[in-house]
Structure 1
Amino acid sequence: MRPNFQRVFEQDRFQDIFEKGCLNLEAGQFAVAKNQFKSILRSKPNHSVTLGNLAICLRREGQSLVAKQMLERAVRASAINFHALSTLGNLCLDLRQFDEARQYIAMALKVAPDDPNANTNWGMLLMHDGELEKAKAAFERALELDPGHVHARTKLAICTRELAGTTEYVPEIDELTALVEQEPDNATAVAMLAHALGRDGRFSRGLVHAFHANTLKETGDSLAMLASYLCIMGEFEDSIPLYERSLELAPHQINNLKSYLFMSNYSNLIDGEGLYNLYRRIVDNIIEKRTKYTHRDHKKIAGRKIKIGYSSGDFRSHAVYFFVKEIFKSHERSNFEFFAYSNAQKEDEISEMLKQSFDHWVDVSKMSDEVMAQCIFDEGIDVLIDLAGHTNLDRLSVFAMRPAPVQISYLGYGYTTGLKEIDYFITDDNLTPAGSEPFFSETLLRVPAPAYSYQPPKKAYIDVAPLPALKNGYITFGTMSRLIRMNNDVLAVWKEILERVPNSRLRFDSRQLMDVETRELFRVRLMKAGIPAGCIELGVTETHWEGYHSLDISLDCWPHNMGTTILDSLWMGVPVVSKTDRPSMGRFGAAFMRPVGLGEYVVDDIPSYIEKAVALASDIPALAALRASLRGRMLASPFLQERLMSEKLETVYLEAMQKFEQGNRS
């Protein structure tokens, strides 16, 4: 929403300050604009238009709750302030406060029924309600009023896509591409096109448009998007300054802050201490101040079942399923009662299977943070477990309100949340050896290794293929991980390994390489890193599990080790060479391989990493024998012992509640 520039003051001195504030707001100078609007409000505290413009400043900075308060004041001061009503309705949509959104958007439409913004907001609300045909009509009406309305055009494309039952982004991208061709200097359209291309996996084209968006208009969002594109391609050197500049422009913009944290987990330019300090600096800006629940009168656990709540946006087709499936299924029911708080935006067949493992399934995807927190508190949940961390569908803002007396982070993110309201982080000695404590805001709860369960899907139960080198006559090193892990330090070491192993190849098999332009951009980067073109294999195997048939040896990355891919690789008979790095994300190799008896392939320094890879590649018979043994080792490992991890977690939950009741946690 743009600021309201209308003539609103008879006195020239107020009007002059007001217009300067509007210009600074348009230019992204939010701090200056805020001060100018506040100076007016000191003399005219109930001036509705000024309150509305101040709210836009606060919202652009990411201070959504404070912005909402300002907009409510603006509406109380003038119930016909269309800009305030429309912005407030849109903000309530963002905050999942749908009943309030409906109220304010309806009021805005009553004031200005022919405004395209109000009609677009109404369409968004109808989409939330599942009224896709009516939503489509609302977007079409908005476009009748303003054929160039960017959001109406893209929302119409999304709505049409959903009506057709497809998940493709093509209609949205086509619509935005056409708009950008018509209006090449439309910064909003260019930025939205860059974003849509990234979601569709067209990273090369997306990167071009992300650069273009920033040349047109530098905003916190556009800078963070460009930084994330560079990170995705493994190029961290230029991304950190972009993120920092983004923070200057919008210090509280939640999505940008979370992107900064998530991408920094992979950066080779930040050490463990630097990463933790970044979390400490940023997390308070992500989590807005909210009222916290107290638990002085929480019901004692003696003589009743302990209520356990799991919160995740990944209770659907997602890698998390392979780790939680057997845990949930094997949980003991005589002493525990289990609740799923699912933030999955669309449930699928995996969701339906997971429901069978819970006593209660609560869909929180359309609940505001406040409603979800109250739901958890009213249910009397004893232990609430976050399985998301700082990922797209997390609900950490709910945990910040402390709706449960004991709150724990586990599995889905693999590193600290940085949130003081989360008490514990479940781990083991491989993930977080002694001395790791300073890198976590949570207390580390170490269980006997491993700290995870793992169950491959049925489609992974295919035979391990013979060693490719026996047929090829050369060793194929490779990875099936994402490109973000392949920073310049890693590529330099892989180059040295190739030089040490004559005629060897380096294969990259990732869905991110499906796009031809992205694949060629990455090829150029590899060649700039000194890797000969003849050694490079880039591809995308249609079935993930069959991709391992082409690899002799998997090479792990650092500072963020591969995750699920390590276990998948071992399951398919491909040994992994791993180097440890910072806790805990740089120690997944140790956490996954030592419990399988493969600790000898986990090393602590680069020279040892190179020597281990070269030694493996130099003994083909031994490598073939190792390949043949790995499936059996996995089947016999603790990862596939169905009840084992459930027992460990239940012990942790009980002890944490006992400690709470003893007064050691408040």
Structure 2
Amino acid sequence: MALNHIGRVQEKLKNYAQAEQALEESLSIDPAQPGVIQHWVHIRQKSCEWPVYKPLHGVSLADMQRYTSPLAMLALTEEPAVQLLNSQSFVNRTYGLAQEHLCQGRTYQHQRLRVGYVSGDFREHAVGFLLPGLLQGHGPEYELFAYDFSPEEQTPLRMQLKNGFHHFKSIHDLTDRSAAELILADEIDVLIDLHGLSSGARPGIFALRPAPRQGAYLGFMGPTGMPWIDFVVADRQVLPDELTLYFTEKPLYVDSSFLPLVSYVNDDILVERHQVGLPEKAFVMASFGNTYKITPDMFETWLRLLHKLPESVLWLIDDNEASTRNLKAFALARGVAPERIVFSPRTGHTVFCARLKLADVFLDTYPYNCGSTSNDVLNAGVPLVTLYGKTLVSRMGLSLLKSLNLDQNAAPNYAEYENKVVAIARHLPEASAKSCEINLNNFKINYF
């Protein structure tokens, strides 16, 4: 127990090497700890410790895969069936919730359809940044309710989100049952889970079925495997008919991309290349997804691009000491000089959006594409090159680009991905996305 607590504290502090060591010592005492294995795997992902699954005494490869978290699995496999089985296994193992039907037999005849959103991310978060566009996409025929358990923060976005709902109710201090009873009393027609299987989820609310129809959206980009979730909001690019087989939820399709476009670009904030250590005349290839989304195959592809484009640099986030160290060592072992990769620390979202303008191209990750970050990239006028596959999470970039008629930058394999980046480098003025007009009002959602 002591080692596990040490591991979690060090993980929270992003001291991933120390966290991994503590959890490995714990597993050496008792290998039969699914929760510890789950965190150990994700820590290795976030540290870019490759291969992620390494031999560990007493823990089989099958156990490592079985107890990998659903979020981590989205970045580890491009097989949709594996993602579904992993999510179902996680739900059965972790929650064990007995379904109830609080709303059974109830029918409502409201003048406006009442839609409730449940989230702990009504704040500066990847989900929160996309929500203004979502809320604006509802017509006057909807009455919007927020059931909020977010950390309180005094930010303009938090206030914007509070003002974007007709009713904003805190459930932070309520039990799952009390929250469900509140939703039931509000006679919500459609209830949306903005967490899915991501951190902070409260599936106990939905297992009680306080609303006749319950769906998942934005918080988890894969099948939840939760039997109390009826549908998932998607589009036909990100979830074509042949992939719906791998979802327990039925698709609720929206026109255009299922990811709403929201601009946070502030033209008053100017950042110059020398301020972040970028060479003035270099071709800058940026990738700012979370480090656990970087895989060996993807990073090898980026390093090949550095070899093909001698005047280029790769620009990454300096997220934690372990991943930065490991990526530098990996690149050096493949003949890439340290100065060819520039690491920048995380910053506030407004400055982050301003920094994006310094890039010449943005390199999407695979099999876990960027979502909210890609929204910022496109609004900054930077070309996005994405690789798409057979899973929803690997098709988010395709969805966004297709909606903007820029899908010539979406590739079905690594070779074409490389070719598209090289083409942009050689024809930069023509390839720039700065000439395209992004319609920020292209998102319209219809619930039944």
Tell me if both proteins adopt one fold, taking TM over 0.5 as the criterion: yes
- Residues 305, 437 of structure 1: alpha-carbon distance in 2 compared, 3 angstrom cutoff: same
Distance 1:539 1:594 in 2: 30
| Deviation, structure 1 residue 290 | 2.1
Spell out, residue by residue over 1:569-621, the C-alpha distance to the aligned partner (whole angstroms, 9 max, x if none).
222232121110232100111112222221111111122111111111123xx
User: 1:283 aligns to what?
Assistant: 91
Secondary structure of the residue aligned to 2:158 is helix
What's 2:162 paired with?
355
Partner of 1:637: 438
Shift of 1:352: 3.4
Aligned equivalents of 2:104 and 2:184: distance in 1? 13
Partner of 2:11: 198
8 A contact 1:488–1:529 mirrored in 2 = no
Task: Describe the shift of the 1:289–1:321 C-alpha distance in structure 2 as closer, same or farther (beyond 3 A).
Answer: closer
Identity percentage of aligned residues: 22
Q: Describe how 1:231-270 pairs up with structure 2 within 5 A.
A: 231-235=45-49, 237-239=51-53, 245=59, 260-268=69-77
Give, as a single letter, the amino acid of the residue that structure 1 aligns with 2:69: Y
Tell me if structure 2 keeps the 8 A contact 1:490–1:558. yes
Please give the alpha-carbon distance, in whole angstroms, between the structure 2 residues aligned to 1:548 and 1:531.
24
3-state SS, counterpart of residue 70 of structure 2: helix
Task: Determine the C-alpha separation between the residues in 1 that align with 2:132 and 2:41.
Answer: 35
CA drift of 1:296 comes to 4.7
State whether structure 2 residue 229 is matched by structure 1 residue 422: yes
Measured in 2, the distance between the counterparts of 1:241 and 1:396 equals 33
Show the counterpart of 1:610: 418
Match of 2:260 among 453, 470, 473: 453
Match of 1:336 among 131, 135, 142: 142
Equivalent in the alignment of 1:30: none
Partner of 1:520: 325
Which of 307, 310, 315 is 1:507 aligned to? Answer: 315
Q: Distance in 2 between matches of 1:343 and 1:450?
A: 28
- The normalised TM-score by structure 2 is 0.87
Name the residue aligned to 2:114. 307
Shift of 1:313: 0.8
Residues of 1 paired with 2:339 and 2:265: CA distance? 36
Output the CA distance in 2 between the equivalents of 1:249 and 1:429: 35
State the 1:413 CA deviation.
1.7
Question: Is the 2:273–2:280 contact (alpha carbons within 8 Å) kept by the matching residues of 1?
Answer: no
> Aligned pairs, how many?
440
| Structure 1 Cα separation of the partners of residues 46 and 188 of structure 2 | 38
Distance change >3 Å, CA 228–CA 452, structure 1 → 2: closer
User: Over alpha carbons, which structure has the higher Rg?
Assistant: 1
Mapped to 2, the partners of 1:546 and 1:190 lie a distance apart of: 42
Q: Identify the residue that residue 442 of structure 1 maps to in structure 2.
A: 249
Asked if structure 2 preserves the Cα contact closer than 8 Å seen for 1:227 and 1:239, the reply is: yes
2:7 touches 2:19 (CA, 8 Å); kept in 1? yes
Q: CA deviation at 1:222?
A: 3.2
- Give yes or no for contact 1:465–1:549 (8 Å, CA) kept in 2: no
Q: CA deviation at 1:374?
A: 1.9
Partners of 2:54 and 2:179 in 1: how far apart? 34
CA distance in 2, matches of 1:319, 1:260: 19
Residue deviations 1:394-417, cap 9 Å, x none?
122221221111111112222221
Q: 2:399 is paired with a residue of what secondary structure?
A: helix
Shift of 1:507: 2.0
Mapping of residues 248-647 of structure 1, within 5 Å: 260-268=69-77, 271-293=79-101, 295-301=103-109, 304-329=111-136, 331-333=138-140, 335-349=141-155, 350-457=157-264, 459=266, 462=269, 472-510=280-318, 512-513=319-320, 515=321, 518-528=323-333, 531-540=336-345, 542=347, 543-619=351-427, 623-624=428-429, 626-627=431-432, 629-630=433-434, 633=436, 636-638=437-439, 640-641=440-441, 644-645=442-443
Aligned positions of 1:31-70 closer than 5 A: none
2: distance between equivalents of 1:442 and 1:503?
47
- Residues 236 and 521 from structure 1, CA distance in 2 versus in 1: closer, same or farther, beyond 3 angstroms? closer
8 Å CA contact 2:80, 2:246 repeated in 1: yes
Name stretches of at least 5 consecutive residues in structure 1 with no aligned partner.
Answer: 1-187, 251-255, 656-666
Tell me the TM-score normalized by structure 1. 0.60
Is the 1:344–1:393 contact (alpha carbons within 8 Å) kept by the matching residues of 2? no
1:541 CA displacement: 5.8
Displacement after TM superposition at 1:262 (Å): 1.0
CA deviation digits over 1:539-578, x for unaligned, max 9? 2264323432442221111111112222222222321211
CA distance in structure 2 between the aligned counterparts of 1:478 and 1:449, rounded to whole angstroms: 26
Q: What's the offset of the Cα at 1:297?
A: 2.9
Residue identity matched to 2:165: F
2:90 aligns to what SS in structure 1?
Answer: helix
Higher relative contact order (CA 8 A, sep 6+): 2
CA RMSD of aligned residues (A): 3.2
CA contact 1:343–1:393 (8 Å) conserved in 2: no
In structure 2, C-alpha distance between the alignment counterparts of 1:477 and 1:637, rounded to whole Å: 22
1:225 paired residue number: 39
Letter of the 1:199 partner, please give it: K
**C-alpha separation between the residues in 1 aligned to 2:112 and 2:124?**
30
Q: 1:39-67: per-residue Cα shift (whole Å, max 9, x none)?
A: xxxxxxxxxxxxxxxxxxxxxxxxxxxxx
**Could you tell me how far 1:327 is from its partner in structure 2?**
3.0
Which whole-Å CA distance do the structure 1 matches of 2:336 and 2:27 have between them?
Answer: 32
